[in-house]
Amino acid sequence: MTDATLHEQTAANVDRYRWVVLATCSLSVFMAGIDVTIVNVALPSIQHALHVSVSGLQWTIDAYTLVIACLLMLSGSLADRFGRRRIFQIGLVMFTLAFLACSLTPSLGWLIAFRGVQAIGGSMLNPVAMSIIANTFTDRAGRAKAIGVWGSVAGLSLASGPVLGGLLVSGLGWRSIFWINIPVGLIAIALAQRFVPESRAEHPRRLDPPGQVAVIALLGCLTAGIIEGPSSGWDSASIIALFAVATLATLALVVLESRRREPLIDMRYFRSVPFSGAALIGVVALATLGGFLFLNTFYLQDVRGYSALHAGLLTIPMAAMLAVFSTVSGRLVASRGPRLALIMSGALIGVGAVMLVDVSVHTAVWYLIVAYVLYGAGAGLVSAPITNTALSGMPRDQASVAGAIASTFRQTGAAVGVAVTGAVIASSSAGFVYASHAAWSVVAGGGAVVVLLGMVSTGHWAQSTAERSGARLASGMSLAPERAR
């Protein structure tokens, strides 16, 4: 065997190994993605079985998204310090066990609690997996392709949820939706142990308890205020206090993190316009998705009277477009950059939501399907460009923390979307259909914001700020060992 042949075989083996790592990491995003849409399909059944209010259902969703948003950055820092594979495996175990616990829950309170435990494990999955991918695919083209595959799996998981959820709820009851991820989790645990390499940041950040407390206070109080506002009264002392604490926590977070040498949230990241833009787009885009899923579930099942299976089948066009355009988005970003994908995403989200502003009991099914197709295409286009943009110019050694911050904004958006649209519905006494018109208008406005932010955050000036920010971060990290001495 010649040296050239041996070299080719070695390169092929390394390439296959990298794609097995990618497949393993993609299982985690599949588990997390399918959980989002499959639980939404079951909400009406959970409401009837456990006799809960709209706010109780909001907490069923937001207990997960809120906790995961609060802990993503901490998990990213822990992974950089103690080992990415180790934290990834712990997350997989917790996530899988929590699914089993949710399926056995006796009441709403326990369901919300187990969803919180599930989120603790979930916070250790996607941002850490993204960092593993970034450190496995070191060349720019390979990383872009891997991120495209990642986005495609995310889209596929979101697309699978409504149909699988409808089948399971209609056939076996709402508890069965939590069974599906248990075997997937066990497979991912085994593959991670066998194939995922251990890696750490060369200079991991110190833990930042004050910053972590500020994040929890900010997101927790903001979400609680929005969800409980309609029932407690927007001018009640408790709601005013929640918003006041959220405001103070925001100010404290900015002040504390700007002064710490190794903060939980490095404010220097936000000097990069693409990173800041990607974070804000993540909030807005995922808020529209959270709102869409929440509103559409109740519209189809409670207003139209469809079964969970029928509702899931009607959602297939949206889900299919989301999956297809997640793949298209990855390729589009690899060939044309993120700008076009972001503009198209916002436009399609906006148009699809506008079509749903005036829905009624008698709206034609074909009309709903057209709106679902447009919205699904827009939602599918957004994942790859915001992931790519968030990491633009960032030092590879800090990919886990940067990815965790970007993911935190996306999870925050999902929580806020459910909270806001649910609050709009709960604040109205005119019935779901009429109240949903205002809620759909909020979703449509989010699409317009995505277009605007996509244009601002992807130009030449924006890219130059990313390069300068990355250079400063790299320079700061190179000085860290000397400062430590």
For range 409-431, the mean pLDDT: 83
Q: What confidence tens digit (pLDDT) does each residue in 359-418 have?
A: 888 899 999 999 999 999 998 888 778 877 666 656 565 555 666 677 778 888 888 888
Q: What confidence tens digit (pLDDT) does each residue in 98-152 have?
A: 999 999 988 888 999 999 999 899 888 877 887 788 777 777 677 777 777 776 7
Question: So what's the pLDDT on residue 14?
Answer: 59
Match 């916070």 to its residue by tokens. 123
Own/partner contacts of 3-9, CB < 8 Å, gap of 24 or more, are none
CA dist 408 and 404 (Å) reads 6
pLDDT above 70: percentage of residues in the chain: 87
* Contact of 4 with 129, CB cutoff 8 Å: no
CA dist 484 and 393 (Å) reads 25
Higher pLDDT, 169 or 427: 169
At 245, which helix (H) or strand (E)? helix 237-259
For range 330-342, the mean pLDDT: 82
Span between the terminal Cα atoms of the chain, in Å = 51
Q: What is the pTM of this model?
A: 0.80
CA dist 14 and 327 (Å) reads 24
- Topology (CATH level 3) of domain 14-205+266-474: Growth Hormone; Chain: A; (1.20.1250)
